[in-house]
């Protein structure tokens, strides 16, 4: 009965559009109260201990680093560099938007932040050159999902904590899948642009311009090199890397690019604190939800049911992806990872999947949820940036959704794409 109350309450609250953290917390609290076997102290202690973790400290620091760099003129320089590479090609501005999202993903670790930072620059530029407004918005909205695939990635941090898996391995494993998704999006953007006559800039390609824009953007492009190089060089941990990213972002934005001043920092810090608090509350309530499921042995029952249903590795992974795609439509990525990781990873390892491979599959699949209604955060951010209605944007983004599914299939069935670098 307590499990029924848990899921029924959670489903009802989500249906009523209650914030996901509140829905998770209330559902868990009511289930504990109805079970009689636990006191509410369990919920309180879990809320505290779930965020009392050194690896989780990386989350607020990566959020802060992304906000500093997004406000510090870095996104504009990345756009200029990407444009210099491909703007003369058919669909060059759309392709440049996706490349810029790849670069910014290696800075922010957030899908919506990537859409906001890149979309504010590239969507008006594409419209100016004759691109359909809905298509231009869909390009950036879909490419923004790459923000959680290419390291640093906040969902990867949460998976690493939940699955007791190396966050460093997850970061490096996400590089090729993130690039693969990007190339699939570029392929469709090129096809659509060629079909509709979206030609590139009349200016010829110039190595001189590329070099000039590279020099302007080199401090921004060094950020992922410093983060990943430091982690894999054994200089610092992923958590320490997040602090290094904050310090580096402050130095570059304040003293080199000079796009922000000390007077701007309180507003940036306030924005980051609000975002971090929201994420950490979700972490706390989702952890309590997941621990209660574990105490009731729900993961074990689900594992046994899956094994009884089929012993096929392919059937299991297809069921898992279907579940994640549905969950991604209704639940925030961090909450989904914390709840589902203890359920899915033990079963996946029984079927012979590497935990890092499972983590990347989960992150890529749930990232698709950023562009699927009703929750799709990127849809709402893209809509607010361009003024295109969410309904119209949802239709325009369907081909990009299919392109991302193609990339996901390659990631799932060719494990070497994920595991080759670890």
Please spell the DSSP secondary structure of 228-241, one letter per residue. Answer: HHHHHTTSS-HHHH
- Rounded to an integer, what distance in angstroms lies between the CA atom of residue 412 and that of residue 313? 11
Please report the sign of the dihedral spanned by the C-alpha atoms of residue 245, residue 186, residue 197, residue 90: positive
- Rounded to an integer, what distance in angstroms lies between the CA atom of residue 148 and that of residue 274? 19
Q: Using alpha carbons only, what angle is made at residue 411 by residues 407 and 301, rounded to the nearest 5 degrees?
A: 120
Would you mind telling me the total number of residues written for the chain in this entry? 422
What pLDDT, on a 0 to 100 scale, did the predictor assign at position 66?
81
What pLDDT, on a 0 to 100 scale, did the predictor assign at position 169?
92
Contact status, residue 67 vs residue 175, Cβ threshold 8 Å? no
Q: What is the pLDDT along the chain (422 residues), one digit of tens a residue?
A: 778 888 888 889 878 888 888 888 898 898 888 877 778 888 888 888 888 888 888 888 888 888 888 787 787 888 889 989 988 888 899 999 999 989 888 877 777 878 888 888 889 989 888 899 999 999 999 999 998 898 888 899 999 988 989 998 999 999 999 999 999 999 999 999 999 988 877 778 889 999 999 999 898 888 888 888 888 888 888 889 889 989 998 999 999 888 889 999 999 999 889 888 888 888 888 888 888 887 877 777 777 777 777 778 899 899 999 989 988 887 788 888 988 898 889 889 888 999 999 999 999 999 998 898 877 888 888 888 888 998 899 999 999 999 999 999 999 999 999 999 88
What burial class does residue 147 get, using C-beta atoms within 10 Å of its C-beta: 0-12 exposed, 13-18 middle, 19+ buried? Answer: buried
What pLDDT, on a 0 to 100 scale, did the predictor assign at position 265?
93
- Rounded to an integer, what distance in angstroms lies between the CA atom of residue 258 and that of residue 256? 6
- Rounded to an integer, what distance in angstroms lies between the CA atom of residue 420 and that of residue 356? 11
Contact status, residue 147 vs residue 109, Cβ threshold 8 Å? yes
């Amino acid at each position: 009965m307590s499990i029924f109350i848990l899921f029924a309450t959670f489903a009802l609250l989500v249906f009523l559009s209650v914030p996901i953290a509140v829905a998770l917390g209330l559902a868990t609290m009511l289930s504990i109260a109805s079970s009689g076997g636990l006191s509410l102290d369990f919920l309180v202690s879990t809320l505290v201990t779930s965020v009392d973790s050194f690896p989780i400290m990386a989350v607020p620091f990566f959020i802060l680093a992304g906000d500093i760099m997004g406000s510090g003129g870095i996104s504009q320089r990345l756009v200029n560099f990407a444009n210099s590479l491909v703007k003369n090609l058919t669909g060059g501005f759309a392709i440049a938007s996706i490349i810029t999202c790849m670069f910014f993903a290696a800075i922010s670790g957030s899908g919506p932040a990537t859409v906001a930072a890149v979309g504010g620059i590239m969507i008006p530029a594409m419209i100016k050159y004759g691109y359909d407004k809905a298509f231009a918005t869909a390009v950036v909205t879909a490419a923004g999902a790459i923000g959680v695939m290419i390291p640093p990635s906040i969902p990867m941090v949460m998976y690493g904590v939940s699955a007791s898996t190396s966050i460093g391995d997850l970061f490096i494993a996400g590089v090729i899948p993130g690039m693969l998704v990007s190339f699939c999006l570029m392929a469709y953007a090129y096809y659509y642009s060629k079909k509709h006559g979206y030609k590139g800039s009349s200016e010829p390609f110039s190595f001189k311009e590329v070099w000039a824009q590279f020099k302007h953007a080199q401090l921004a492009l060094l950020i992922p090199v410093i983060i990943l190089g430091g982690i894999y060089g054994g200089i610092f941990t992923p958590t320490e890397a997040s602090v290094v990213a904050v310090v580096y972002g402050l130095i570059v934005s304040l003293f080199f690019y000079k796009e922000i001043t000390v007077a701007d920092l309180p507003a940036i810090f306030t924005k980051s604190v609000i975002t971090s608090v929201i994420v950490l509350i979700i972490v706390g309530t989702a952890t309590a939800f997941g621990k209660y499921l574990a105490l009731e042995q729900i993961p074990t029952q689900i594992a046994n049911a899956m094994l009884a249903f089929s012993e096929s590795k392919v059937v299991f992974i297809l069921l898992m992806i279907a579940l994640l795609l549905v969950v991604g439509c209704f639940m925030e990525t961090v909450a989904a990872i914390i709840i589902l990781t203890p359920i899915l990873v033990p079963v996946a390892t029984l079927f012979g999947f590497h935990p890092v491979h499972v983590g990347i599959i989960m992150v890529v699949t749930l990232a698709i949820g950023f562009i699927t209604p009703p929750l799709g955060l990127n849809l709402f951010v893209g809509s607010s940036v361009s003024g295109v209605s969410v309904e119209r944007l949802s239709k325009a983004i369907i081909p990009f959704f299919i392109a991302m599914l193609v990339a996901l299939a390659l990631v799932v069935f060719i494990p070497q794409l994920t595991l080759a670098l670890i």
